[in-house]
Structure 1
């Protein structure tokens, strides 16, 4: 450190890489002193003239303000206020074109000066050494001072740094061509600049303060050396004239031989740099109490008749400066804010001066020619040789054109100071600096978007975590917490575990436990299988029993039919009886679907009948059977007196019913055989029966049949008092019903025959007695008998046809 200090005091400088020597053109403006311009008609004061956030607006439209009155107040980090440059009326607060190559609108306060130039109350400090560190920093902060030679970094932030500062450097190099604002300021106000430097020295307490001035400013060197001769810690160092020696990192290298690390700041290596104009503004704020409302601006160029440096109020339109200095524009005139190397062409001259404006250049076409069309890179490496930051401009330009932002950052794009040396030496006239500026803006926007997305994700994760926690708390709110176990209970549990562990050491006990577990599992599996597999043995037994009953019933039915067919009867009578039985069976089967036919237990008659009477009896029986079938269509006849069940008829009952049917058939056949001799012995009447009597007999038979049908319709011939079920009759019951119907038909035929015979010995029926009384006993002749037989056959045929239609 001591060796370095000795070298610095001896005037040793260390060169930096790269650099160029463009024409200086400073003699146009440094020959005259700084002049003060008349008040402009309008002041457009932008609220943001520095790096950082805007301040909070304190005025409103139509309000009168005084010179030096604060228009905004600091509202966030790196926020400094702006002040009214002159007294007047606030005519508008609106977005106005900004001092930027894009001229994007920025919120500005428009003031119309009243010409009085009336100051606000000032608070000057005569002895700043009595101020504390915080008080001095606050004065600098409230004065709105920011860097006036570079990007506009707030001065109070640098003044309040917590890092130790070894070297405080004053950047008075002013290396860019045409600009002489700092040069004339040091020549005319060197004492004020040194006072401002001493105030910063009071705040930072550096080991050495170095004022760096290029060797092309001899008058400024003399003035500054004389002003600082009373302070041993301040030295004025002359540096060679080379561009860009005024760059912050390059000047540090020149004066201290220290290099600022990539992506670092000078404070990281114990160095802090301030501009000449900034130190003058600090002195004005403390000693005069004046805020930063004006600065020195160089107005020069071949189109300016009176080039020089002027005191310009902040917010003064550039057009006002040009007009005051004798501006004579040429066709396609360019106006540049800044120098020819780092400045930018303004889209309009209706833009107000800001704190970082140090030069307004209005060149003609010969002085600053328009750049030609961009050509292909010839890879001459001139840009790399001229770069003071030791970068690869050609490579950066390729990455910038292809928007490979990651590679740009890998190649240290942000170490570029945008000095323009690479573009100045490029033979292909490639605007390299423009590519870098655009790429930097896009990368910053991308990083800002990423920061916003990360913050949004953090908020989302925090909210999700909070919601999950609240949901878990709601779920656990009503859960019963287990009671804490006492020491005795814990000891009991430990003892039990110890006993289990001791038992597990015995092999027999292990096997016993395993056997018990196996038995329990087997029992569980058995119970599960029992539950899963139902017992169907009873259903299978019932199904087998029904099959066996059906088989036996089929055999019995076939036997019954054979026995009924083999009964000995007379050919004629058996034919009549068979026809009657078939008709009645068919009608009974149709009328009694789902029911059981009624068995009429009428007394049996053994009286023999002749052919004529048999035909009449057959006709009467058919009529009665027809009426009875019609009357019983809506009724439910009952077979037995006992209540009927839904269970099928078993084999034993079917066998008994078949036996009864066979016995009755045999009895009827025997009665017919025994009755034939009696009929032949009985005296026959020979009186012929005429047509009238035959008609009377037929009418009587029809009346009796009709009377019997009406009696069946009005009554419910239910033999059983029990309620009848509506269950359908199966095949077995139908067979029994058919056999009973055949038996009844035979009995009815015999009863009718007995009723027609006047001398029948077993005639006990009242109905047959009435027939005897009404029908004459005389026999008919053969002609009438033939007619009656034909009528009977026709009626029987008709009844059979109706039965077939109904079935």
Structure 2
């Protein structure tokens, strides 16, 4: 069923969408001769390797086991020989342990179903589903990379009533989720039903922004065959894909300061994560590949590419036509919340949704001027904060004032910097302040 269009109430902006890779079929990347698979592709502790130099692995072989509750298993995306376990620079900007694999063919583990046959029925119990999600290394693929098995196990005294599927994709340029919804619609609905069973909830909503009418129409038609799954069209409004904004738009409840969606009975899962969950449960397939958007105004062939994890980013860019001569910056993710990367030898990981290639003129920052107290950043803040004030106190390292002004509620959407007529790097300073306040709070609790 398709509901009426909805949105959140406070703040928000509408930057140019630039969905130039929309409606293009998903391409598939080639497998290189060497893949490097980081053991930290999730929030929490890096996984602990269970292979050694010289080991022969298949596509889907377990490489490293989760270290504790907030961690995730890592599997091989290729078949071949383990060359070494060493560090690699990741998109985070830090070095992490990784498994280097020399590729030899593409031989899959025998228990993985590699066909495209749709499997609807799932006879597993709630606990068995969660165990399989843990086993197959499924994490949030919208960017946060939070281990899904933890999210599917609400803490004591909390009850999940709604499963919300985040298919908003409100970041400009990115279209990988849109492409996935068009090509894997029914698998997504089956995956949604499976996660509903894991959570023991009777209601699911798939939130999609109204600039994807084809996905809304297709999923809406198919959802009539699935019990209690609503397709919720959402007004095009950034940052609609933020968890707190999506929860408010879909079920009309506001998440309290410092709380999680489960506090209002909601669990939010990205649509790509739902598809990965379908493959894990119904196909016994670990999370070893994902769809990534490679795009930019000067890119020769903007596209959505299904790629194995551990493939160098440079290979994906070459598939999109290569780096334009006037390239100044490459962003991992979207332009609002993504991060600039330093080289194209970094590897595709579970949380990488896009590569945005920006030309020189668009990458330059304009000269920062004094704040004119226009209030634009306050008016558009979806969290009801005072961004100019948070920047000021962070600039002067006044962490007590930053904390009392609820700096940790900032969702880092970047809307404040986007609208600032004085070109002030508001979000940069808020991130600095937020990080220091969180460190101070953690020290107090230890």
| 1:410-454 alpha-carbon deviations (Å, 9 max, x no partner) | 111111111100000011111111112222333333444455xx5
Which residue of 1 is the match for residue 289 of structure 2? 294
Which residue of 2 is the match for residue 350 of structure 1? 345
Which residue of 2 is the match for residue 248 of structure 1? 243
Which residue of 2 is the match for residue 82 of structure 1? 74
Secondary structure of the corresponding residue to residue 328 of structure 2: coil
Do structure 1's residue 227 and structure 2's residue 216 form an aligned pair?
A: no
Which residue of 2 is the match for residue 430 of structure 1? 424
| 1:306-357 alpha-carbon deviations (Å, 9 max, x no partner) | 1110001111111111112111332462111111111111111111111111
Quick check: 2:3–2:232 contact (8 Å CA) kept in 1? no
Which residue of 2 is the match for residue 364 of structure 1? 359
State the distance in 2 between where 1:332 and 1:176 align: 21
Match of 1:69 among 43, 58, 61: 61
1:126 to partner: Cα distance: 6.0
Secondary structure of the corresponding residue to residue 227 of structure 1: helix
Which residue of 1 is the match for residue 138 of structure 2? 145
Secondary structure of the corresponding residue to residue 68 of structure 2: coil
Which residue of 1 is the match for residue 8 of structure 2? 15
Do structure 1's residue 36 and structure 2's residue 34 form an aligned pair?
A: no
State the distance in 2 between where 1:339 and 1:127 align: 33
Greater helix content? 1
Greater strand content? 2
Secondary structure of the corresponding residue to residue 286 of structure 2: coil
Which residue of 2 is the match for residue 257 of structure 1? 252
State the distance in 1 between where 2:323 and 2:148 align: 38
Quick check: 2:164–2:207 contact (8 Å CA) kept in 1? yes
1:21 to partner: Cα distance: 1.0
Match of 1:396 among 390, 396, 402: 390
Q: Structure 1: where are the runs of 5+ without partners? A: 1-7, 455-807
Distance 1:126 1:181, change over 3 A: closer
Map 1:302-701 to 2 at 5 A.
302-331=297-326, 333-366=328-361, 368-450=362-444, 454=446
- TM-score, normalised relative to structure 1: 0.53
Quick check: 1:172–1:275 contact (8 Å CA) kept in 2? yes
Instruction: Kindly report the root-mean-square deviation, in angstroms, between the aligned alpha carbons of the 2 structures.
Output: 1.9
State the distance in 2 between where 1:86 and 1:34 align: 20
Secondary structure of the corresponding residue to residue 74 of structure 2: coil
Quick check: 2:166–2:268 contact (8 Å CA) kept in 1? yes
Distance 1:14 1:319, change over 3 A: closer
Q: Which has the larger displacement, 80-89 or 259-268?
A: 80-89
Q: Structure 2: where are the runs of 5+ without partners? A: none
Quick check: 2:126–2:199 contact (8 Å CA) kept in 1? no
Match of 1:282 among 273, 277, 288: 277
Quick check: 2:408–2:437 contact (8 Å CA) kept in 1? no
Which residue of 1 is the match for residue 106 of structure 2? 117
1:304 to partner: Cα distance: 1.9
Which protein has the larger Cα radius of gyration, Structure 1 or Structure 2? 1
Secondary structure of the corresponding residue to residue 423 of structure 1: helix
State the distance in 1 between where 2:3 and 2:67 align: 46
1:204 to partner: Cα distance: 1.6
| 1:714-773 alpha-carbon deviations (Å, 9 max, x no partner) | xxxxxxxxxxxxxxxxxxxxxxxxxxxxxxxxxxxxxxxxxxxxxxxxxxxxxxxxxxxx
State the distance in 1 between where 2:23 and 2:187 align: 21
1:12 to partner: Cα distance: 5.8
Which residue of 2 is the match for residue 174 of structure 1? 169
Distance 1:174 1:91, change over 3 A: same
Higher relative contact order (CA closer than 8 Å, sequence separation 6+): 2
Secondary structure of the corresponding residue to residue 194 of structure 2: helix
